[in-house]
């Protein structure tokens, strides 16, 4: 936990009362404008059921957004035990445990579309059933090309009608290729690129919800 409030993060920290430090690191934490976009998605949801690939400052902000709107839950998959512990400490410091849980999810080998991918171990017992917002900010891109691609194929069955997906670092060539591959795989997807500090891709399904639902 750093008690510094780096430039750009102060408005959200003031909004949520984070006056005792935040779990921020220069190279790993999401940029302020991405966090503001994610918080806005939570505020606009009729039901806030968030699944996050990676944990940290974003988990804290999303949990606070759930508390602010009066309900919701963030489930964050974290590959590093020390990262999970730091996020849990921050959630406890600000009494946000009721709005977020950090799941220890070490990277394991998945076979997907004829390729091997290092990606999070998934515990079916703790994953939410109807995800309204999927935030993809991990695993690190250095693991292999298209490292974040498995998120949608492996978690797509858990997405609720009206879901949204936010992919961080979308200005990078690798993330652009991930989005292109998702769009080829899923013709029902719509995509909006947001020119944030590190780029953000926002995706959703154009398929009508079943039985006229939301």
User: Considering its fold, how many domains does the chain have in total?
Assistant: 1
Label residue 212 by pLDDT band (50, 70, 90): very low
Provide mean pLDDT across the span 92-118: 97
The CATH number assigned to the domain holding 131 equals: 3.40.50.150
Does residue 12 lie within any of the structural domains? no
Report residue 39 as tokens.
Answer: 């918080």
In terms of Cα–Cα distance, which of 153, 141, 149 is closest to 198?
141
Residue 170 lies in a domain: yes
Assess whether pLDDT exceeds 70 at residue 62. yes
Domain limits for position 130: 31-209
pTM of the predicted model, to two decimals? Answer: 0.94
Provide the pLDDT for residue 214. 39
Average pLDDT over residues 52-78: 97
The answer to whether residue 66 sits within a structural domain is yes
Task: Give the pLDDT band of residue 6 (cuts 50, 70, 90).
Answer: confident
- Which H, E and C letters describe the chain, residue by residue? CECCCCCCCHHHHHHHCCCCCECCCCCCCCCHHHHHHHHHHHHHCCCCEEEEECCCHHHHHHHHHHHHHCCCEEEEEECCHHHHHHHHHHHHHCCCHHHEEEEECCEEEEEECCEEEEEECCCCCCCCCCEEEEEECCCCHHHCCCCCCCHHHHHHHHEEEEEEEEEECCCCHHHHHHHHHHHHHCCCEEEEEECCCCCEEEEEECCCCHHHCC
Q: What percent of the chain has pLDDT over 70?
A: 95
The per-residue pLDDT for range 150-187, each reduced to its tens digit, is 999 999 999 999 999 999 999 999 999 999 999 999 99
Q: How far apart are alpha carbons 7 and 1 in whole angstroms?
A: 16
Residue written as token pair 């039985």: 211
Bridge partners, residue 167, by sequence:
136, 201
């Amino acid at each position: 936990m750093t008690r510094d409030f780096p430039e750009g993060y102060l408005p959200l920290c003031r909004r949520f009362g984070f006056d005792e430090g935040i779990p921020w690191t220069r190279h790993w934490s999401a940029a302020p404008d991405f966090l503001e976009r994610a918080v806005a998605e939570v505020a606009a949801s009729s039901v806030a059921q968030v699944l996050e690939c990676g944990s940290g400052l974003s988990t804290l902000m999303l949990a606070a957004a759930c508390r602010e709107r009066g309900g919701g839950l963030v489930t964050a998959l974290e590959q590093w035990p020390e990262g999970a512990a730091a996020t849990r400490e921050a959630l406890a410091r600000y009494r946000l445990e009721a709005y977020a849980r950090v799941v220890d999810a070490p990277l394991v080998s998945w076979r997907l579309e004829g390729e091997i991918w290092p990606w999070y171990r998934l515990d079916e017992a703790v994953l939410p059933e109807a995800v309204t917002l999927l935030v993809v900010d991990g695993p690190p891109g250095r693991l292999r090309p298209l490292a974040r691609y498995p998120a949608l194929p492996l978690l797509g069955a858990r997405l609720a009608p009206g879901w949204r997906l936010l992919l961080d670092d979308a200005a990078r060539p690798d993330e652009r290729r991930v989005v292109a591959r998702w769009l080829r795989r899923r013709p029902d997807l719509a995509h909006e690129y947001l020119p944030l500090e590190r780029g953000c891709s926002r995706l959703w399904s154009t398929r009508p919800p079943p039985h006229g639902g939301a």
